[in-house]
Chain A
Amino acid sequence: MNIVVVLKQTFDTEEKIVIQNGQISEDGVEFIINPYDEYAVEEAIKLKEERGGEVTVISVGPDRAESALRTALAMGADKAVLVDDESLFGDEFTIAKVLAAVAKKIGFDIIIGGQMAVDSGAGQGGPRLAEELGINHVSTAVKLEVDGTNVRVERDVEGDLEVVETSLPVLITAQQGLNEPRYPSLPGIMKAKKKPLDRLGADDLGITADEVKAKTEIVDQTLPPKKQAGRILSGELAAQTSELVQLLRNEAKVI
């Protein structure tokens, strides 16, 4: 089975955001595989272990994204593709078109990705990519079973659980709870250094920057206003809770 994982390298979720001249500063920032994409990598490797095949991890991003792809290779993926051609960077419209060109080039039976990236938070990648490829998608999966070409997915729908059946080829987006991603082993890390990682650009993919030109632009990026430190209540606990209820009713007026 030809398993493709789409992943994005993101800031570690414990990082604070610093903005300089409208740009988010990357100085000293720790990068990780987007946590939802990490579930996708794990699920792909599990699927390969159960049903055989090959796992290819693909990403569109700057040079530094190689380390996220290498981590996925160290976890057990077989090969990687990085589109680091800046003329193909843009908005969600752009990225989906570029990923679709990569997926068509390498072929796929199933594509797995995170349900969203924790940086942009847009969550457009999966459904857009499936549409570009003309295949079905099932989002926010918490359980995935593949038997032949039959696919059974349990998905999280705003806290409810929906059980759906579909068939290959399909794109699945991973929700938290799908699995527990493994840590790369030391031999895995050593092997990953030698696994193939192709860097592709517009010419390799047969697309032009013009046809994938972004439909939207970022106007500005700012930090939210800093919150004033609040009031720590004091006294007997019973008096504190009574005071809190009064404050919420009369001062904050939220109850």
Chain B
Amino acid sequence: MKKVLVLAEVRDGQLRNVSLEALTAAQALAEGGEIVAGVFGADAATHAVTLGHHGASTVYTADHTALAQYTPDAYVQALTQLIELASPDAVVLGHTAIGRDIAPRVAARLGYGLVSDVTSVEAGPVFVRPIYAGKATQTRKFVDGTIFITIRPNNIAIGAADPTKTAVVVPVELEIKDLRTIVKEVVRKTSGKVDLSEAKVVISGGRGVKSAEGFQPLYDLAEVLGAAVGASRGACDADYCDYSMQIGQTGKVVTPDLYIACGISGAIQHLAGMSSSKVIVAINKDPEAPIFQVADYGIVGDLFEVLPLLTAEFKKVLV
């Protein structure tokens, strides 16, 4: 039996899915032991009910002015103090922008090992993680010290909620000082859009999209499906879209339920970033394009003809 600490993350007032996935991973690690969660921010306590339903027996809440806007210094100090307070046998974070930024630093501060970007927790415990952007898989174990992992969003199925379970809320006072970073501005380019790494459906465009405007039919379909829109390196290099949309070995790795590749030939470096998607649809003019070799369903045709038809079909059944 182990005690496991999960740091839950709130974005736009909502608990992130990956935090519930982290609680599920924590249950596998706890082996019947205790799960505690930490949440930062002014409305932290409002999330305690959900965290309780998903297995946390205690929720530590920390409201501090320095935690209102993310900075590594503030969050590293906060998480370190939380770990010292809870003294867990294992710590689980989401492999998000925040998780990947603070986990290595906290690990270094406390002299811990860290296994990042875990997609599955197995008996042992042994941790499964993709390497070479999913071209291969590695399993890792800890040989010394506290277990510390970050988990990749969208890979560990969230366990069923138990509404009879509740968590005790424990507000904690944190000491945060000597902040070395000032955040001047946050430009929300993704507001209203679905986050690529957590999206259940991803539609992405390659060189076949031909221009920035060429992404419009992809966005039209994305709206109907509640999907995120991504791109291949070819499309990004050609300046059709922002690099933040790039999927591949350089860029983001995505594992949605449905991936629709439009005008993407399927270079190895792109396939590495999306071939673990559950179902892949390829739309391409070239029947020889390598993308068809990883696709579950393929349509050989011009994406500018296919996508409007597909959007209309989905509208018929979904709206």
Complex alpha-carbon distance, A86 and B98, angstroms:
33
Chain B residues positioned under 8 Å from A87 (CB to CB): none
Q: Flag whether A237 is at the interface (Cβ < 8 A).
A: yes
Docked-complex contact B183 and A237, CB < 8 angstroms: no
CA distance A123 to B107 in the complex (A): 13
A132 to B258, CA, bound (A): 41
B135, A16: Cβ atoms under 8 Å? yes
Per-residue B-contact encoding for A118-137, CB less than 8 Å = 1, 0 else: 11111111111011100011
| Cβ A17 vs Cβ B279 within 8 A | no
Question: In the complex, which of the residues A170, A215, A230 contacts B292, with contact meaning CB atoms closer than 8 Å?
Answer: A230
Q: Which residues of A contact B108 (CB under 8 A)?
A: 93, 96, 127-128, 131-132
Q: Is the CB of A14 within 8 A of B244?
A: no
B163 to chain A, nearest CB (A): 27
Is there contact, CB below 8 Å, between B287 and A138? no
Q: Note all chain B residues with C-beta closer than 8 A to A140.
A: 97
Knowing A159-B244, A213-B144, the reply to whether A124 touches B107 (Cβ < 8 A) is yes
Of the stretches A54-62, A66-74, A220-228, the one at the interface is A220-228
Chain B residue at minimum C-beta to C-beta distance from A242: B313
Interface-lining segment among B84-92, B205-213, B249-257: B249-257
**Size bracket, chain B contacts:** 35 or more
Q: Are A231 and B104 in contact (CB under 8 A)?
A: no
Q: Chain B, 118-129, contact with A by CB distance < 8 Å: what is the 0/1 string? A: 000000101001
| Interface status of A252 (Cβ within 8 A of chain B) | yes
Q: Does A190 contact B (CB under 8 A)?
A: no
Q: Which of B143-177 contact A (CB under 8 A)?
A: 143-145
The smallest beta-carbon distance between B75 and chain A, in angstroms, is 11
Is A105 close to B, CB under 8 A?
no
A237 and B309 contact, Cβ closer than 8 Å, known pairs A36-B250, A123-B116, A128-B104: yes
Q: CA–CA, A214 to B243, complex, Å?
A: 35
> Within 8 Å CB of A232, what residues of B?
287, 292, 298-300
Say whether A254 contacts B258, CB under 8 Å.
yes
Q: Are A136 and B251 in contact (CB under 8 A)?
A: no
Which residue of A is nearest B275, CB measured? Answer: A227
Main secondary structure, interface of B, reads mixed
Chain A residues whose C-beta falls within 8 Å of the C-beta of B141 in the assembled complex: 216-217, 219
- B113 x A215 contact (CB < 8 A): yes
- The answer to whether B1 has its CB under 8 Å from any CB of chain A is no
Known: A230-B280, A237-B299. A245 touches B313 (CB 8 A): yes
Are A11 and B132 closer than 8 Å at their CB atoms? yes
Q: A233 to B281, alpha carbons, bound, how many Å?
A: 11
Q: Are B102 and A224 in contact (CB under 8 A)?
A: no
The answer to whether A216 and B143 have CB atoms under 8 Å apart is: yes
B317 within 8 A of A: yes
Residue among A162, A176, A238 with the highest chain B CB neighbour number at 10 A:
A162
A248 to B257, CA, bound (A): 10
Name B258-284 residues within 8 Å CB distance of A: 258, 267-269, 272, 275-276, 278-282
| Nearest opposing residue in chain B for A234, CB measure | B300
In whole angstroms, what is the CA distance A14 to B249 when docked? 9
Bound Cα distance A152, B183 (Å): 10
A240 touches B299 (CB 8 A): yes
Whether B97 pairs with A244 at a CB distance below 8 angstroms is no
B181 to A127, Cβ gap below 8 A? Answer: no
Q: How many Å from the CB of A25 to the closest CB on chain B? A: 11
Contact call A224/B137, Cβ cutoff below 8 A: yes
Chain B 222-247 interface 0/1 with A at a Cβ cutoff of 8 Å (1 = within): 00010000000000100000111110
Total contacts A-B at CB 8 Å: 272
Contacts of B249 in A (CB 8 A): 13, 118
Mask of B277-319 contacts with A, CB within 8 angstroms, 1/0: 0111110000100001111111111000110011011101110
Q: Is there a chain B Cβ closer than 8 Å to A241's Cβ?
A: yes
Counting CB contacts under 8 A, is B220 at the interface?
Answer: no
Contact partner of B250 (CB less than 8 A), chosen from A11, A13, A161, is A13
Q: Which of A124, A221, A222, A233 contacts B116 (CB 8 A)?
A: A124
A123 touches B299 (CB 8 A): no
Query: Which A residues are CB-close (under 8 A) to B276?
Result: 224
Give the contacting residue for A163; candidates B72, B140, B185; CB below 8 A.
B185
- A-B pairs with lowest CB-CB distance, top 10: A215-B113, A131-B108, A124-B104, A177-B243, A136-B180, A161-B187, A127-B104, A13-B269, A159-B190, A230-B296
CB of A207 within 8 Å of the partner chain: no
Checking B130, B225, B269, B292 against A121 with a beta-carbon cut-off of 8 angstroms, the contacting residue is B130
Q: How far is the CB of B124 from chain A (nearest CB, A)?
A: 8
Q: Is the CB of B195 within 8 A of A158?
A: yes
**Per-residue interface assignment for chain B, residues 58 to 98, with 1 indicating a CB less than 8 Å from any chain A CB and 0 otherwise:** 00000000000001110010000000000000000000110
Q: Given A93-B107, A216-B143, A233–B114 Cβ distance below 8 Å?
A: no
- Residues of B near A14 (CB, < 8 A) are 267-269
B136 touches A222 (CB 8 A): yes
A122 to B144 CA separation, bound complex (whole angstroms):
19
Q: Does A51 contact B (CB under 8 A)?
A: no
Q: Which of B136, B279, B282 lies in contact with A223, CB distance below 8 A?
A: B136
Do A161 and B186 touch (CB < 8 A)?
Answer: yes
Q: Which B residues are in CB contact (< 8 Å) with A222?
A: 136-137, 139
